[in-house]
């Protein structure tokens, strides 16, 4: 086979891949079409709203005229993101508010909730989006393994402290961002805090499985209150979430190309949280998990009621809510 034929095949394959990527992107963007004033008068909290899926979700909600509270740890980065979001939102946009929230500090979570309860008359949607992915071993302010502390415990306390306000604002919604990597995790009750051994990949998967179990147990507890809670798995998205993953220098150009071709953009990744936050199609739906705006069937370990209840009770004790 001549070099010209090989080159043509490679270029042709590249064109097909790019065309497929562009087509899928346009299809995803069309699914994000909602009435421009759909969220007018509604207040939405988005954790981790200064980058990635959280930023894209906040931007779309602002376009739908919501009052969006960006709950972020880094004030400077949040302000930069807020300015970018406002510039893109157009003339008829909602309101954007920045509040400090460090999910690695339960005291910060409590202070944030006290401020929200004091200043906000209602909360219509809480989107638990922020997360850490395979970070080096470290601990939260209270001494919990960082991925467990941020991905589960911080959001557990945040949600519980805002539940009364969410109930008063009913019908209201809670959205929990999980990951398909939950499939590779289990809840290690014998060493939940990874004091005996730390495997960063396992700990991430464990925390994402915990998010699904949290959603299931919370849905059971909220039955009849007018507050719904659903989880989602966004797929592989080009965000800063993977910043702790070391990629060899020689491989980076290829990785960047592959990510552009096959990974979702932040806007595409935001379509399912946006769908769960505001679509009339999921009004009253609770305790489910979604992917690409459709209900996703979970493995049995993510729907185990006994494990969900046990993890809930343990989390309650770890964050100091159990009397």
In the set 144, 182, 204, 275, the catalytic residue is 204
* Helix, strand, coil percentages, rounded to 5, for the chain: 55, 15, 35
Separation CA 170–CA 276 (nearest Å): 15
Q: At what angle do helices 3-30 and 252-262 cross, to 10 degrees?
A: 50
pLDDT of residue 4: 40
pLDDT of residue 256: 54
Of 86-95, 141-150, 205-214, the one with minimum mean pLDDT is 86-95
Closest among 38, 197, 206, 246 to 124, alpha carbons compared: 38
Sign of CA dihedral 129, 79, 81, 124: positive
What pairing do the DSSP bridges indicate for beta strands 294-295 and 289-291?
antiparallel
Residue 247 reports pLDDT greater than 60: no
Of 55-64, 105-114, 190-199, 238-247, the one with minimum mean pLDDT is 238-247
Of 16-25, 70-79, 162-171, 236-245, the one with minimum mean pLDDT is 16-25
Residue 123 reports pLDDT greater than 80: yes
The average pLDDT across 204-212 equals 98
> Band of the pLDDT at 30, cuts 50, 70, 90?
very low
Residue 3 reports pLDDT greater than 90: no
* Alpha carbon distance, N-terminus to C-terminus of the chain: 75
pLDDT of residue 264: 81
The average pLDDT across 39-51 equals 97
Residue 104 reports pLDDT greater than 70: yes
Q: Indicate if 204 belongs to the active site.
A: yes
> Band of the pLDDT at 257, cuts 50, 70, 90?
low
Distance from chain centroid for Cα 166: 19
């Amino acid at each position: 086979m001549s070099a010209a034929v090989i080159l043509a095949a490679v270029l042709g394959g590249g064109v097909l891949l790019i065309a497929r990527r562009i087509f899928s992107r346009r299809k995803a963007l069309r699914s994000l079409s909602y009435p421009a004033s759909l969220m007018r008068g509604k207040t939405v909290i988005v954790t981790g709203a200064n980058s990635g899926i959280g930023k894209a979700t906040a931007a779309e909600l602002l376009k739908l005229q919501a009052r969006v509270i960006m709950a972020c740890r880094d004030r400077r980065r949040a302000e930069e993101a807020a300015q970018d979001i406002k510039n893109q939102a157009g003339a008829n946009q909602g309101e954007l508010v920045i509040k400090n929230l460090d999910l690695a500090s339960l005291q910060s979570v409590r202070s944030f909730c006290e401020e929200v309860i004091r200043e906000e008359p209602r909360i219509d949607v809480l989107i638990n989006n922020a997360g850490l992915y395979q970070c080096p071993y470290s601990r939260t302010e209270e001494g919990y393994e960082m991925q467990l502390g941020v991905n589960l415990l911080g959001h557990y306390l945040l949600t519980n402290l805002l539940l009364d306000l969410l109930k008063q604002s009913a019908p209201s919604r809670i959205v929990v961002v999980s990951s398909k990597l939950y499939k590779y995790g289990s809840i290690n009750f014998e060493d939940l805090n990874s004091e005996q051994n730390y495997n960063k990949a396992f700990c991430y998967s464990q925390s994402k499985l915990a998010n699904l179990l949290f959603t299931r147990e919370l849905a059971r507890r909220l039955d009849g209150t007018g507050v719904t809670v659903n989880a989602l798995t966004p797929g592989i998205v080009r965000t800063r979430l993977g910043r702790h993953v070391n990629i060899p220098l020689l491989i980076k150009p290829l990785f960047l190309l592959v990510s552009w071709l096959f990974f979702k953009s932040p806007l595409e990744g935001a379509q399912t949280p946006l769908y769960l936050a505001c679509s009339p199609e999921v009004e009253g739906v609770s305790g489910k998990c979604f992917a690409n705006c459709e209900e996703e069937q979970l493995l049995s370990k993510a729907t185990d009621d006994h494990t969900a209840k046990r993890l809930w009770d343990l989390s309650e004790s770890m964050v100091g809510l159990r009397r």
